[in-house]
Amino acid sequence: MKLKNKAQSFKQVRSSRSKKGVSPVIGVILMVAATIVIAGVVMAMLGGFKAPASSKVVGVYQNRIDSDTVTFTVTKIEPAGTTISYINMSAPDLSGTEEDEWTAPITIGSTHTYDDPALAGPIYVVLRATFNDGSSEVVFANTI
């Protein structure tokens, strides 16, 4: 009989535990903690995003006048209102890298003539425009 009573009391204790659940205070604390964690994850993900910088377009036409002379003409600058501080030209040759700088004001129709014996024969030329906002982009890269 004693054994039967002990078994019944054990079942009652076990069933009362399973019905008890989590206290409302603990539940609220867990919900707030979960909300904070989710908000932190979302903020970390979105914090790394920024609006894309507007791309600038500069059209450059090159014309080889003779074996030592090349002219570059700006044919397009977009978006409207974009200003170019200077254009740096680099052309690697056998003796190193030839560099030249084309300075402001650079507008549509601006022409720069580069005359150097290092230009004889095909040579790879890179023009990098630096804009007044401090950004820079390669606007011409070609073998001339």
pLDDT (tens digit, 9 = 90+) per residue, 24-66?
888 899 999 999 999 988 888 887 767 777 788 888 898 888 8
Instruction: Tell me: do 138 and 83 sit in the same domain.
Output: yes
Instruction: Tell me: do 26 and 8 sit in the same domain.
Output: yes
Question: d(Cα 39, Cα 48) in Å, to the nearest integer?
Answer: 15
Instruction: Tell me: do 22 and 65 sit in the same domain.
Output: no
Low-confidence ranges of the chain (pLDDT < 50): none
Domain holding 16, by residue range, is 2-47
Number of domains the chain contains: 2
Task: Tell me whether residue 62 is in a domain.
Answer: yes
- Sheet-wide strand order for 69-78: 57-66, 69-78, 111-115
- At residue 102, the pLDDT reads 77
- At residue 71, the pLDDT reads 87
Task: Tell me whether residue 52 is in a domain.
Answer: no
- Going by C-alpha positions, the residue among 40, 91, 39, 19 that lies closest to residue 62 is 91
